[in-house]
Structures are given as C-alpha cells and as structure tokens.
Amino acid sequence: MPCLSRVTVTDGRGNLQMYEAFFDPRYEQSIAEPIDPVTGRAWISASERTAEMINVGHGVSAAIAFGFRHALFNLNTVNLQELLRKGVSFASQQIEPTMTAESVDGYLAWIESADACVLLTSDEVLGDFLPAVKPAFMQEAARKAGFVPDQQLLLPDGQTITLWRHQSVPSNCLSH
C-alpha cells in the first residue's frame, strides 16, 4: 500500500520466552514459545503451595535451603509468593555446586552451614542451572545432616520435590 511506510512486525518472543523454553523440557529450544497460561499458573501454584507448607509446618520465620537450582522453581519464586501473601520472605539459601564440590561431603558441609529448618531436594535434574546438583548425593547428605523427609510436591515438569525437616528443631524454627 502506498500510504504505509516501513513497518516492523514481531511475534512477541524475546529473552523471557527463550529462557522459559530452555528450561522447560516440553518445548524445543529452537522454538522459544511462551509457556502457556495454564502451565505458567501451575508453576506459580507450586511456589504458593510450597510457601504455605513451610508456613504451616515451620512458621513464617523458617530458614529454608534449596538443595537444587531449578530455573522456574527456586528460592526466588517461593519467596515471591511469601512476600505477596505475608509481606515477608523466608531466610533462604540455595546451593552453589561450584563452591561445594560434587560430593556428599561437600553438600553436607553446605547443609550444615545453612542452619535451615527446611531443606528442599529434587528427585531429578530437570530444568536446573548447570552445574546441576546430584540428587542422590544431596539426599544422602540431608540424612547425614539430621533431616528426614516430611512432605512431597509434584512440579509441572514431573519431578518430585521433597521438603525435609530437621530432626532436632533449630531455634529459628517452630516445632513440627
């Protein structure tokens, strides 16, 4: 049409969509489609449920430790839900495998230094930042640190998250 000048047309995909596609195994990385609203809500719901489980079992001041580094479910997404609902966030730490070494002893040292009431672990390495944490090593380290499995949560990508509670209740936690 002679009355129109050059027009740029985009489809809305950008960095966020590429990020989501990279960490969600259901999407081909080359497609970079946005997560559909139902799936997006399921991820938010997983973080909401986790925050609520921690509140009910361990209190709003619970110190939590994430023994994995998932891109769409992590201490930031859980703390965001806690901030939105309660106006405060949990004291939280996430493992940094480049600092701990890939070993039960390395993970154990991190768990003990976290002084947490609640430890979250994953049964799989799916959607995690690299280098990924070895789930079997983390679970063994959790047991050695005095944690016992308490509750489980299924994530939208199919992996199971276990909330562990400390057998002896640290002073910064409510008794279970």
pLDDT of residue 140: 98
In the chain, where the domains are located: 38-166
Query: What 3-state class would DSSP assign to 56?
Result: helix
Tell me what percent of the residues of the chain surpass a pLDDT of 70: 77
pLDDT of residue 139: 97
State pLDDT tens for residues 5-43: 675 656 566 555 566 666 665 555 555 566 788 988 999
pLDDT of residue 176: 47
| C-alpha to C-alpha distance for 74 and 56, rounded to whole angstroms | 19
Rg over CA atoms, the chain: 19
User: Which one is the CATH code of 38-166: 2.40.10, 3.40.190, 2.60.98, 3.30.310?
Assistant: 3.40.190
| Helix runs in the chain, H state only | 15-23, 37-58, 75-86, 97-100, 104-114, 135-144
Confidence grade of residue 115 (pLDDT, cut at 50, 70, 90): confident
**Residue 140 bridge partners (DSSP):** none
Using alpha carbons, select from 23, 39, 21 the residue that is nearest to residue 31: 21
pLDDT of residue 60: 84
State pLDDT tens for residues 34-90: 678 898 899 999 999 999 999 998 888 889 999 999 989 999 999 999 999 999 999
**Residue 94 bridge partners (DSSP):** 66
Confidence grade of residue 173 (pLDDT, cut at 50, 70, 90): low
pTM for this model (two decimals): 0.82
